[in-house]
Amino acid sequence: MLFINRGNLDQLLESLRGDYRVYVPRSMGGSTGYSLLGESDTDYVIGSIRSFDPLKSFYFLSREKVAEDFKPDILRDEKPPCIVGAKACDLKGFRILDFVFIDDEFGDPTYMKARKDGLIISADCTDVGETCFCTAVDINPWPEFEFDINLSPVDEGFIVTTGSEKGRDLVESRKNLFSDAPEDQVEAVKQNRSNIKSRVMTSAQEKGIPVADRLKWVIKKHYESDIWKDVSEDCVECGACNTICPTCHCFLLYDQKSDGKLARYRMWDSCMINDFARVAGNENPRDRLWMRMRNRFDKKFNYFPEVTEEIGCSGCGRCTAACPGKIDIREVLAKLEV
């Protein structure tokens, strides 16, 4: 393992601005959000908890033009993204999004290009959010996959681990910025991780969330239950839970004419909205809100485990924080366990 101090990390990120659009986490009104790193910019925070904006928003844009006058307009000429401080729950989202968007024949070119050329400098969580429950879905509050370099905050700097060939090459090319990690700092990382994991586990257990290997079973068991009607009563059908989720990926296509040109756009869609499942003839197989609520949970905790062996939820708790109806995904899962 290696060590990098804060000053050298500033230099590292500044050097990356030539090849990447570098996004860093910043304190914003009591939360953490991403924005571009500017020249000689050192106003960012590493650690804390996940940002309020999901990582998918840099790879699968909320709205983008995909064709113009029936000609593809999908490979934008811009620097790839470098995301700094990404957390384990967001990295889990890649396991779902990659399944959906990466394919040799039918894959999404813009997503695949960003994934191939982008850089992930992740970081351990150093705190626990009010709505966090990552351990309940078998994720630790520190990155273990899908990163190039990971930063574990310690006194005076960060313990550095590499997770890819790209990450190892980057460290080697700037090895003057790194030093061998002191053994006491490595031990401090282990202790910090243990403490944070214990806090998340305690929080999840207090909510009564089923253990990960039971989630699929409880969804099937209660598929025809009245629970779905009960929990959907406070839903205002805004779609916030879908748009803020790091694993939700549904979209719609629409055409727009401007300046004599016809362009096709793609934008995020929400399975909680009434028109989402509407088909020709004005038929709708999920015309009741409780059906759409059930479908959302079934896809995350039943469908994806069956087809990918991955739970389609990262335990980030963003959906609970964003919901104006105060629907808590943890409480819904606890009701299913009864």
When computed from its CA atoms, the radius of gyration of the chain, rounded to whole angstroms, is 21
SS3 content of the chain, % helix, strand, coil (to 5): 40, 20, 40
**159 Cβ contact list (under 8 Å, min separation 6):** 1, 2, 3, 151, 152, 181, 185, 186, 189
Coil/strand/helix, residue 287? coil
Cβ contact 25:48 at 8 Å: yes
pLDDT for res 214: 87
Q: What pLDDT does residue 72 have?
A: 65
Q: Phi and psi at residue 155, in whole multiples of 5°?
A: -60, 130
The pLDDT assigned to 74 comes to 59
- Count Cβ neighbours within 10 Å for each residue of 208-229 and write b for 16 or more, e otherwise: ebbebeebbebbeebeeeebbe
Single out the residue of 74, 57, 75 nearest to residue 268, CA to CA.
57
pLDDT in tens for each of the 338 residues of the chain? 899 999 999 999 999 999 999 999 999 988 999 999 999 999 999 999 999 999 999 999 999 988 888 776 556 668 999 999 999 999 999 999 999 999 999 999 889 999 999 999 999 999 999 999 999 999 999 999 999 999 999 998 999 999 999 999 999 999 999 999 999 999 999 999 999 999 999 999 999 998 888 888 999 999 999 999 999 999 999 999 999 999 999 999 999 987 788 888 999 999 999 999 999 898 999 999 999 999 999 999 999 999 999 999 999 999 999 999 999 999 999 999 86
Structure tokens of 172? 């080697």
